[in-house]
Each structure stands twice: as C-alpha cells, then as structure tokens.
Structure 1
Amino acid sequence: MTHLETATPEALRADMVRELHEQDAIVSEAVAAAFAAVPRHRFGPEMPLEKAYDLHTVLPVKEDEHGLSISVISAPHLQGVMLEQAGIEPGMRVLEIGSGGYNAALIQELVGVGGEVTSLDIDREVIQRARRYLDDTGYGRVKTVAADAGTALVGLGTFDRIIATVATWDIPPSWISALSAKGRLVTPLTVCGTTRSVAFERDADGLASRSYRLASFVPMQGDGAAPDRKVMLRDGVALQTDNEQVPLNAAVLGRALERGRLEKWSGAAYDLPDELDWFMTLNLPSPARLHAGQDVIDTGLVEPSARLGVAALVSEDSIAYRTRRPNAATGTAGFESGVVAHGPQAEGLAEQYAELLRRWATDHQRRGAARIRYVPGDAPSPLPPGAARKRHGYVTVTWA
C-alpha cells in the first residue's frame, strides 16, 4: 500500500495545509487553522480519502440529467485563495452564495463564536445536503437558506463579507446594498466566457477591486444566469460570447476555418497567459471565446491555445486568435506570441490582434496590473475600451 492509502484523515489534512502554504493559496495563520480544523472528507464521503484532500480536486454535490456537474465543492486551492481575498475576521457577519457545506464550515471557523455565517443556494436539495453535513460535523451554527440569490438578499440585513462560490455574470443591486459600509464582496466574475475571482469593496460609484485571481466555477442559476450565445463551427470547435454585438455566423466562420490560415508573429514575449488572456478579452473590439477539442487540435486545424478556450477576434466572415512558438529564431528562452487568422479579413484582424499582443508585452506584462470596477446603472454608449455591458450595470478594466 502507498502512503496515501494508509494515511489518516488528520495526516492528509495536515499535508494539504502545508501544500496550500507552499503554493501561496493560503498565507495567513487564521485561514490555515480553519483548513486544519474542518474535516473536508466528511462533506464528500463518496470520494476516496486521498482525493478529498487533493489541492485541485472538486467534490461533486449534484449533477444534471446529462451527468454534468451543476453543484460542486470547490478545490481547496481555490477556496484558500478566495478566503484570503475575503480577509474574514472574528465577529464578522458573512454570507456565502452557493452552498456545499464545507466552505461555510471554514468561514464559521474564521468568524468564531461571535460571528454569524449564512449559506444560501437556489437548489433545495443542495441546501438540505449541506445542512445535514454541517450538523454532522459540528457546524450547526451556520444558517442555511434555500433561495435565489438574485432576489433573496433583501431582508437578510447587511454583511461584512459576501462570498459567491458560483460564477457570476452580473452583480445584482441587492448584493451591493447588502454590503456594510466597509464590506467586501468576493465573486468569480465572468466576462465574455472567462472568469476571475475578484475581491471588491464599495466606492463612491459602485465597486472597485482590491485583488483578482484566475478561477473556474459552475455557473449561477436562476435570475442571475448568464446569457449564452454559442455556435459550433464544426464538430469539436465552438465559438462563444455574451456580447450581443459580436457576429456569430456559424456557417460562414466554419467555412473560413476550413479554408486555410494566416500566421502573424508579434515579436512580443509570451508570458503570464492568464493575465494576457484577461487583457485580450477586455480590449478586443469584437471578442468571443474559441474552444476546440483535443482531437481537432491533433489534426492541426486549431492551435492548442483553444483547448481551454482562447480570446478570439471575430468579424462577419473572419476570425483571429492567439498562438505561440519557441523563441529559437532569436536564440532566447521562452516563447513569442502570435496570431492565427482565417477568412477574407484575416490580414486585418491578425494585425489588430498582434498590435494588442505587443501593447500587452510592452506596457502591462506583469501580474495584478488590472483594476476592475463595477458600476451599477446604464452603461455609456459606445462602451469605452476595457468595458463590458452587464444586465444591472457595466464592468470597466484598466491596466496600470
């Protein structure tokens, strides 16, 4: 037997905390103590013990009729990052949106006996499951509520911290109203198919970011569900956007994809792909997200950058997206960023894309340079660069 097969839950939990420290997912003693205290495996008893304490493994909560996860307990690495972003202190009043039980237990450890934790989920079955496991593990003080977070916060009072554990396309006005004057909202905000966990605080006009990190979550359901425009260009290749102004002509773009390609190399270094992707998504004039399966990538039709989704520039009949190649020609280490484009406007789109790649590398190639704001109310028209229209307001992102 291996060490993992014979290790106790306590030993695996201690290993998890140590590894979270090593990867900077947790940096404070308070968050480390919470992870050390809560028995994660008790909230996912169907999972093997070693998987329950793996840093990057989610615990399934509920699937839809097609077997796709619609509710999960996030991986410890991401939970640690978000709890550090939240900066929860003893005595605080905290609301969790999206329930699984385990994260609410961690929050209860952080607020202590003088604090109050409410965990809310739209799905009554999910809440009942969370309630059962919270009670069974000694966290009966956590309140659980089955309701739609898009409309249910009115009447719950104000909170020092609100943490959403589902991908949120927009921020309902009631969430902002429910924040105390010095409150903080940590939410996985989705813009054009890409998500960042953003720690927001209130300012004069709405919300301003303190920090952001790459994140992936199941989408919000109910009134807060994201609009989803998705077309298949061919089997295994999809194009997706939430921007109503972006043309998605599946037949024309599919033919363009099949009829050859243009490559343009930017001369700019390729680095920090999550930051670069966020920059491109917010600054491309007509953005979408290109996804391709590994079998299509293996044929050479689509670049590997599309496997997990890549920011694309789209017109009525053409498409361009990012790729990379080794810097062998210049004799330096690393990679050079470039563009692959298809269609009659390939040359023009590729140059627009390459110019943004060069601007990123020259002016913004560092981590944490973006400043994100959420402004409630009507968005200006036309939107300024780095902005995205939402249902209840708009997002602006600027780079220092």
Structure 2
Amino acid sequence: MVQVVDAERTAEMRDVLVAELRTQGMIMSDAVEAAFRRVPREQFMPDDTDLAVVYGYDRSVVTKRDGHGRAMSSVSAAYIQARMLELADLRPGMTVLEVGSGGLNAAYLAEVVGSQGRVVSIDIDPEVIDRAASALDAIGHSSRVRVLVADAERGVPGEGPFDAIIVTVGAWDVAPAWLRQLRPDGVLVLPLIMNNVTRVIGFRRDGDHLVSTATEVAGFVPMQGDGSRTDQVLELPEPSGRKVRLTFDSDAPANMSQLDGVLATDQIEVWSGVTIEHGVSFADLHLWLAWYADGFCRLSADEGTALAAQKRWFPFAVVQEAGFAYLALRDALEGAGAEFGARAYGADGQVAAAAMVEQIRAWDREGHRTSPTFAYWPTGSDPARISADATVMDKTHGVLTISWPRE
C-alpha cells in the first residue's frame, strides 16, 4: 500500500539523513547520495512506521516475524544499506544480484546502476517478494528491478554473470552458486557469520579466492533455506527455573552435561587490567574472541535471572569443561573508561575466566589498534597460497581466513 505522507517533511528528513550518512563516512560517492535522495524509504515500510524510524540513521524495521516472534524479514538500517552499496563499488551499466529482498535496497541499486544496468532481487519467501514488487511498482521501479522467489543457495538460473552480489541476510558460508555467477573481477558483499559474530565484508575476487576490501559492524536476520545453519543451544536453568542459554554455531563441547547445575555455584570474577576509554569501539574484541577463544559461544538470559539483572555484561562466553565465563566490564580510568574482565560459574569457572582474560590481553597486544583482513578460499582453490600468519576457520564450502596486520 502506498503511504500518504507530507512530501515536504519527508524530503527534509531525507536531506538530514543523507547529511549524517555523509558526515559519518557511510556515503562516499555522489551516485549513492543521489540514490538516497531519490528513493522514498517510507514506501517500503509498514504503514504505521514512524517517520523518525524510517529516516533514522541506525534504525532497522522488522517487516515479518514467525510464530515465535523471531524476525524473518526486515528493512536494514540506513547506515548499513549505504555502506554496503559503497562496498559493492557499483557503476552505471552493471548487473547486480541482491540476495534477500524487501524492495528498498533494490531501488537504491537500480538508481546507482542506471537505466543501462540490471538488478535482480531474490528471496525465498513469496510474501516478501510480493511486498517488494508492490512497493517497487508504487514508486515506478518495477521495470528496473526483476524480483524472483528463489533459494539463494542454488543461484539464479538464466541470470548473470553478475558484476556484484549483495547479500542482505546473515550467511554462515559463501554459496558456490554465487561464485559461479560472479564475474572474475566481481565484488561480493555479505554479512558473514563467524562463530556467532557477524561482520559485513566486502570481498573482491582474486583468481581462485576472495580478498576483503573493507568491513562493517551490523546484524541481519539469518538466511533461510538450504543455506541456513542450525545452532546448538544449551539451556542452563537457575534454581528459580528461569534459563541462561549458550548458543554454538559450530564446535560445541562434546560433554556439555558437565555444566549441569552450574548456575547454583558461586560466581567468580577475574579482571584483565586491559582498559578502554568511554566512546571507543571495542567491537573487534568480540571478533577476536570468536576466532581465538576455545569454547566460544553466544550468551542470553531470561528476564528475571540473576545474570540478566547484572550490569555491563556482553552476550559472549567461553566454556571450559565444567565452567563457563562471560565478558564483563567495570569502571576504570577514574570514571573515564572501563576495564574488561570475565565473570564465571562452575567447578572450572576459574579456568574459563582465565582463558577469556588471556584472550582479552592477547587482543590488547596484537589486535587492539589494527583492523583485520579476511580471505575466502572455496573448495578446490589452492590452500598452499594461504598466508602463514593467517588463522583458518572451516566452512562448509571452503575456508575463511583472518589476519591482523602488525602495527
């Protein structure tokens, strides 16, 4: 349904959003700026969405949930849409595939590649595709974007090759079909899940593998269909019956029964001595832990649990035998910053806390002041070419590597 809005007000809000995206470095090119100025974001949102949310810098909007309330489809925040468009290095006349539809991003793509370009937008959910097609038609873009119901893992028969592929759902791996349909010098931009931590990575093809050009922090709804990934979840009940959950996307401990009753034990705290000033991002610490901390997992807690009531903790943990520890902060630097540490439970809680603190200190020594680079080596590529200083993570269809440049 076409929303009836105050055109003058939305134009002003669009200008304010574009100015902020420029200031924050998310929009770098005139072509992406022009696309953001031309496309009315509100036409791709649910009718009751507040315009302050529609034109918010970092506000995503869920457009569909499953029977359990989990988000199945959403419109991404403006900052990450702009950043991904820039990472794709688009030019007029290009052919682009979007995996995960909704209509808005496809409209931006159509604006950037122009009338001589081609945009194909696919989604596994017919309802999502119908909504995207209607919104694109409402703003006059139906002839500029082809929307299809398809499982992205299988590619798009009869289409391609693509100069760029932009994936707008969380992907655990790179589908071989994407590489088959990507040009030899093409760009792949996707939110890649690495041991339950996601980064949007811009990859450029380099012979038989992909090399990252830049990354961005963002979260996305998970991929459905053949490319989906089933996590392993361990539920730890408190004496009250409320639960804490540990979620593993790979390499879950073989004997997790050792954690039975762990939340009934006394809590242990170990502090690292590593500090950070307020306002300084430490998102790469999460990434470091995901790659290097044995037993790494995501942590969540029901409302009303003792853990949920605690302040300044983060949803990342490590499991070591009969103990688990999670990332925490406490005041430091005379109130101008915080110190990283670990809180832990269980017979081996001290061991788990020490393992997490060891990796916090390693990040401070080796990764704190640099940004990592990634490479993806699909099955059949030459593993002998992987750099000796790279760390390898196994995926279904290949291996991913990470390297932290020395200062």
TM over 0.5: yes
Distance 1:136 1:317 in 2: 58
1:287 and 1:102, CA in 2 relative to 1: closer, same or farther beyond 3 A?
same
Question: Aligned-pair distance for 1:315?
Answer: 2.6
Query: Which residue number in structure 2 is paired with residue 214 of structure 1?
Result: 217
Distance 1:260 1:5 in 2: 58
| Aligned amino acid, residue 395 of structure 1 | L
Query: Which residue number in structure 2 is paired with residue 282 of structure 1?
Result: 291
The counterpart of 2:62, out of the listed 48, 60, 63, is 60
Distance 1:358 1:346 in 2: 18
Question: Aligned-pair distance for 1:144?
Answer: 0.9
Q: State the TM-score, normalized to the length of structure 1.
A: 0.89
CA RMSD of aligned residues (A): 2.4
Query: Which residue number in structure 2 is paired with residue 397 of structure 1?
Result: 402
Query: Which residue number in structure 1 is paired with residue 103 of structure 2?
Result: 101
Query: Which residue number in structure 1 is paired with residue 269 of structure 2?
Result: 263
Distance 2:58 2:255 in 1: 34
Query: Which residue number in structure 2 is paired with residue 238 of structure 1?
Result: 245
Percent identity of the aligned residues?
37
Query: Which residue number in structure 2 is paired with residue 358 of structure 1?
Result: 361
The 3-state SS of whatever aligns with 1:226 is coil
Q: State the TM-score, normalized to the length of structure 2.
A: 0.88
1:362 and 1:90, CA in 2 relative to 1: closer, same or farther beyond 3 A?
same
Q: For structure 1, which segment, 34-43 or 369-378, has the greater mean C-alpha deviation from structure 2 after superposition? A: 369-378
Where do 4+ consecutive residues of structure 1 move more than 4 Å? 4-7, 297-300
The counterpart of 1:345, out of the listed 339, 343, 348, is 348
1:294 and 1:131, CA in 2 relative to 1: closer, same or farther beyond 3 A?
same
| Aligned amino acid, residue 55 of structure 1 | Y
Question: Aligned-pair distance for 1:252?
Answer: 4.0
Aligned length in residues: 386
Distance 2:189 2:106 in 1: 14
Question: Aligned-pair distance for 1:57?
Answer: 2.3
Distance 1:319 1:303 in 2: 18
Question: Aligned-pair distance for 1:29?
Answer: 1.9
| Aligned amino acid, residue 110 of structure 1 | V
1:262 and 1:375, CA in 2 relative to 1: closer, same or farther beyond 3 A?
same
The counterpart of 2:374, out of the listed 348, 368, 372, is 372
Q: Which 5+ residue runs of structure 1 have no aligned equivalent?
A: none
Question: Aligned-pair distance for 1:74?
Answer: 0.8
Query: Which residue number in structure 1 is paired with residue 386 of structure 2?
Result: none
| Aligned amino acid, residue 305 of structure 1 | W
| Aligned amino acid, residue 377 of structure 2 | V
Query: Which residue number in structure 2 is paired with residue 151 of structure 1?
Result: 154
Q: Is 2:313 the counterpart of 1:305? A: yes
Query: Which residue number in structure 1 is paired with residue 52 of structure 2?
Result: 50
Question: Aligned-pair distance for 1:78?
Answer: 1.5
Question: Aligned-pair distance for 1:316?
Answer: 3.2
Distance 1:28 1:62 in 2: 32
Q: Is 2:24 the counterpart of 1:23? A: yes
CA contact (8 A) 1:247 1:315 kept: no
| Aligned amino acid, residue 253 of structure 1 | L
Question: Aligned-pair distance for 1:9?
Answer: 1.5
The 3-state SS of whatever aligns with 1:347 is helix
| Aligned amino acid, residue 44 of structure 2 | F
The 3-state SS of whatever aligns with 2:291 is helix
CA contact (8 A) 1:282 1:385 kept: no
1:318 and 1:184, CA in 2 relative to 1: closer, same or farther beyond 3 A?
same
Distance 1:363 1:69 in 2: 36
Distance 1:90 1:222 in 2: 32
Q: For structure 1, which segment, 230-239 or 129-138, has the greater mean C-alpha deviation from structure 2 after superposition? A: 230-239
Query: Which residue number in structure 1 is paired with residue 320 of structure 2?
Result: 315
| Cα shift readout 1:208-250 (whole Å, capped 9, x = no counterpart) | 211111111110000000121112212242100111343472x
CA contact (8 A) 2:88 2:164 kept: yes
CA contact (8 A) 2:236 2:262 kept: no
1:59 and 1:339, CA in 2 relative to 1: closer, same or farther beyond 3 A?
closer
1:390 and 1:362, CA in 2 relative to 1: closer, same or farther beyond 3 A?
same
1:196 and 1:315, CA in 2 relative to 1: closer, same or farther beyond 3 A?
same
The 3-state SS of whatever aligns with 1:150 is helix
Question: Aligned-pair distance for 1:299?
Answer: 6.4
